[in-house]
Structure 1
Amino acid sequence: MPNQPARDLPERMARLIVHERAPYNAEPPLDRLRVSWRTAAVDFYVRSHGDLPAIDARTYRLEVGGALGRKLSLSLAEIQAMPQTTVTATLQCAGNRRADLRAVAPVSGDPWDAGAIGTADWTGPRLVEVLTAAGFDMASAREGLHVAFACHDTVDGEDYRYGASIPLAKALAPETLLAHTMNGAALLPEHGFPLRAVVPGYAGVRSPKWLASITVQDRPSDNPIQANDYKFLPPQVDPEGVGPDDGITIETMPLNSAICEPARGAALAAGRTTVRGYAVCGDRAVARVDVSGDGGRHWVQARLEEAAPFAWTFWSAEIDLPPGEHELAARAWDAAGQTQPAAPDDTWNRKGYLGTAWHRVRVTVA
């Protein structure tokens, strides 16, 4: 059936904290992220760089080519008829928690709190299956190849369409999908209907929506999104004029955590308080989460709850809070023994990417 981006969209937008309406960028309140380990599609953050394209699934085609044996053009029905895989994975915007960096000094981009993240069941063929169907010879795979995605959405205020790429090794990994289904239902328009890439462990920018074509090539995509944007730059570097060889291209996401409950500014009763949140690490396991009721002077270890490879870990902790003002803090540790920086000043950059400092929430206890 045809895609209808406007249908029910205002109702879904009303559920979220909208940072921009055009392009549409929004995140859920943090307490809603803790309602379910799998995030409902209507509560999943939305990151758009331009329009929400109207695509008719009946006439949709995905073009696959490049350094392959042959070109392939697939309908949505043909994609759905291929062997299907479901992967539970967390997607996260590279600008998640930008608000914390913005509090240090001005940065560009939407002021995301800690809600530019979500976890879902994604279903579709593995990307490697699609490449193989197009004649890609696994035996001849060589280093230096990349898989580039071109999409149907036009970047806001620009004359080009969205595009990005990933290294071939990640494209061939079993967790990397072309998804047409999210939590058992067709993708919503704002989440990429009818087809998107899902690249677990990588920043959301590498999981493009509204796919138009896939190309295997000997270099990263030259689309400005890939070549110039989403670069982690030293704090003194001005993002204007940044090129393909500057900065660190953001791919695998770093260790992060956030307090979802209680909310900032909450008024609590004295005594035992439950603190809940999430922790996530791109391609490594979360090993421990610590929670503090006094800004990091003393810590208790949180109880780790449901988790999965390439998905976030839910956690909770009980702490005693006497009357007064308190700064709650959370920090995670990964399987390599790495933890988060204490202050956002340590990783501040002009684009506001990769805000991973201890998450801090001030509350009042009566």
Structure 2
Amino acid sequence: MPGINGPLDYSQEPPRHPCLKINAKEPFNAEPPRDALISSYITPTDLFYKRNHGPIPVVDDIKRYHVLIGGLIENPIQLSMDDIRKLPKYDVTATLQCAGNRRTAMSEVRKVKGVGWDVCALGNATWGGAKLSDVLKLVGLTQCTIVTPLGGRHVEFTSVDNCKEEKGGPYKASIPLIQATNPEADVLLAYEMNGKILNRDHGYPLRVVVPGVIGARSVKWLDKIDIIKDECQGFFMQKDYKMFPPTVNWDNIDWSTRKPQMDFPVQCAICSLDDDNLVQVGKVVVGGYAVAGGGRGIERVDISVDGGKTWIEADRYQKDNVPYAADDINSDKWAWVLFRAVVPVPRNTEIIAKAVDSAANVQPENVDDIWNLRGILNTSWHRVRVRRSPVANSNL
């Protein structure tokens, strides 16, 4: 594409924060430490997880860059960044989460295929840009359009990067047309992140942000938008990011039997503690994040120190010192909720956290029940181990 290109090697990668835990170098995939992730409601850009499938694209002439909008519409157009910036700008605070978040815990049950993420393959940012519904008005699509006169029912986003899974071709994904044309869905063509121009890792100069949906559908480094009849046929829609039962393996898998994953389920994780902790006090602070897909709020986060026999309800918040209420007009419906509780610590115990969303969906107890060969959507109860040190025990 004029003005931007997808390199064939990794010689032009941008700098990254040294504290990131690198899970793969080429392509670069990394997440922040647990305590750093929940240090603020808005995740600093340099601590936001990095999920890539190829070398980071390079913009050499932003004036020549443009996005093509075509497919099953009567009047295809191309838009420059100036054209997009002339549309009304919206700021949407939304959490993006990789479908493989918490994959390492799933791999402990049985081997899975994918990047070995801990619990921090997500982040919460304020994205700035034009609503996709406004952009699609420019080609004659009204709000909440289900199908175009030419039979288009889906909107496909194509990147400029090069992915080995696409045999060197670009990353691509799609969402239903009705979602793309619904202004209440807050789908953005974003050119800002946390009040600043997107950096290269996160999609400069333009990316899609699809709130409430797994991060794989929020395509970065946007090249073109096509209105198509059926779902995108790209690798990451048809041969990846689908949820299979534990009985399916690589010998009997049939990708066509499952739809591409969209909304992510209710999820929470403890980030104030590591997997195994030695403490010298009788109580500990349990803090972390909870998030649900589809714009559903978090109704409750429960903490247990006795294997789930009894539970303590954690305090929930988004902004500092402002109690959170699910589906309240002042809450960010696409964003995570942070939680905090102070709990007693027996000599040796396992601390468990589980969340319930506003539709009463609750996290499953055991990872075994939701194990799948790609290791996606591990939303089982999150568990960390805590042991009292001998110094603390001698004072009992």
Structure 2 partner of 1:335:
358
Give the alignment of 1:309-348 within 5 angstroms: 309-322=333-346, 324-348=347-371
Whole-Å separation in 2 of the counterparts to 1:297 and 1:241: 39
Structure 2 CA distance, aligned partners of 1:159 and 1:141? 33
> Which among 227, 240, 244 is matched to residue 238 of structure 2?
227
Report the alpha carbon displacement of residue 137 of structure 1 after superposing the two structures with TM: 4.2
**Aligned counterpart, 2:19:** 15
- Determine which of 372, 377, 383 is the counterpart of 1:360: 383
Given candidates 148, 157, 181, the residue that maps to 1:149 is 157
Corresponding residue for 1:177?
Answer: 188
Gaps of 5+ in 2: 319-330, 390-396
> Which residue of 2 is the match for residue 113 of structure 1?
118
1:133 equivalenced with 2:138 (yes/no) = yes
Where do 5+ consecutive residues of structure 1 fail to align? none
Contact kept in structure 2, 1:164 and 1:221, CA below 8 Å: yes
Cα-to-partner distance string for 1:304-351 (whole Å, 9 max, x where unaligned):
1115201111110111113x2221110001112221111100100000
CA distance in 1, matches of 2:274, 2:385: 8
Q: Which contiguous aligned blocks of 4+ residues in structure 1 show a shift greater than 4 angstroms? A: 1-8, 137-140, 239-244
Q: 1:172 to 1:243 in 2, by over 3 A?
A: farther
Q: 1:128 to 1:60 in 2, by over 3 A?
A: same
The C-alpha deviation readout for 1:57-94, integer Å capped at 9, x for no partner, is 23211001112231111111221121111100000001
Tell whether the 8 Å contact from 2:174 to 2:217 is kept in structure 1 after alignment: yes
Helix, strand or coil for the counterpart of 1:63? strand
Q: 1:241 to 1:173 in 2, by over 3 A?
A: farther
Structure 1 range deviating more: 237-246 or 210-219: 237-246
Matches within 5 A, 1:211-226: 211-226=222-237
1:159 aligns with 2:168: yes
Residue type of the alignment partner of 2:343: I
1:36 maps to what in 2? 40
Distance 2:336 2:353 in 1: 15
> Which of 58, 65, 69 matches 2:70?
65
SS at the partner of 1:190? helix
For residues 147 and 239 of structure 1, what CA distance do their matches in structure 2 show? 30
CA separation in 2, counterparts of 1:254 and 1:193? 29
- Aligned residue for 1:83? 88
Q: Distance in 1 between matches of 2:144 and 2:46?
A: 42
1:25 to 29, 32, 40: 29
RMSD: 2.2
Residues 314 and 341, structure 2, Cα contact 8 Å, conserved in 1: yes
Residue number among 41, 45, 53 corresponding to 1:49 in the alignment: 53
3-state DSSP of counterpart to 2:35: helix
Higher mean alpha-carbon deviation, 304-313 vs 180-189, is at 304-313
Cα shift at 1:222: 1.3
The SS at the match of 1:316 is: strand
Deviation at 1:15, TM superposition (A): 2.3
- Is the CA contact (8 Å cut-off) linking 1:342 and 1:358 kept in structure 2? yes
| 2:317 counterpart of 1:308 | no
Q: Residues 227 and 243 of structure 1 are in contact (CA less than 8 Å); yes or no, is this contact kept in structure 2?
A: no
| Cα contact 1:197–1:207 (8 A) shared by 2 | yes
In structure 2, C-alpha distance between the alignment counterparts of 1:13 and 1:232, rounded to whole Å:
32
Contact map agreement 1:46 1:191 (CA 8 A) in 2 = yes
TM-score normalised according to structure 1 size: 0.94
Asked whether the equivalents of residues 302 and 355 of structure 2 are also in contact (C-alpha less than 8 Å), the reply is yes
Q: For residues 227 and 53 of structure 1, do their structure 2 counterparts lie closer, same or farther at Cα, with a shift above 3 Å needed?
A: same
**Deviation per residue, 1:97-152 (Å, 9 max, x gap):** 11111110100001111100111000100001111112224486439700001110
Q: 1:350 is matched with which residue: 348, 373, 377? A: 373
Contact 2:43 2:123 in 1 (8 A): yes
Contact 1:95 1:354 in 2 (8 A): yes
Residues 363, 125 of structure 1: alpha-carbon distance in 2 compared, 3 angstrom cutoff: same
Bigger shift: 102-111 or 324-333? 324-333
2:177 aligned to which of 168, 187, 193: 168
Q: Are the aligned partners of 2:214 and 2:264 in contact in 1 as well (CA < 8 Å)? A: yes
What's the % identity of the aligned pairs?
Answer: 39
1:339 is aligned with what amino acid? V
The alpha carbon displacement at 1:8 in A equals: 8.4
Distance 1:139 1:121 in 2: 24
Whole-angstrom CA distance in 2 between matches of 1:271 and 1:316: 17
Distance (whole Å) between structure 1 residues aligned to residue 201 and residue 239 of structure 2: 24
Query: Secondary structure of the equivalent of 2:46?
Result: helix
**TM norm structure 2:** 0.87
2-structure distance, mates of 1:138, 1:91: 25
Mapped to 2, the partners of 1:53 and 1:129 lie a distance apart of 26
The CA distance in 2 between the partners of 1:328 and 1:141, in whole Å, is 46
- For residues 273-325 of structure 1, what are the alpha-carbon distances to aligned partners after superposition, in whole Å with 9 as ceiling and x for unaligned? 11101111002111000011233232111011115201111110111113x22
Q: Residue 206 and residue 325 in structure 1: after superposition, are their counterparts in 2 closer, same or farther (change >3 A)?
A: same
Aligned equivalents of 2:215 and 2:79: distance in 1? 24
Change over 3 Å in CA distance of 1:55–1:345 after alignment to 2: same
The worse-fitting range, judged by mean Cα deviation, of 100-109 and 232-241 is: 232-241
1:170 alignment partner AA:
Q
1:175-213 per-residue CA deviation (whole Å, 9 max, x = no partner) reads 110101000011111111111100000000010101100
Structure 1 counterpart of 2:316, one-letter code: L
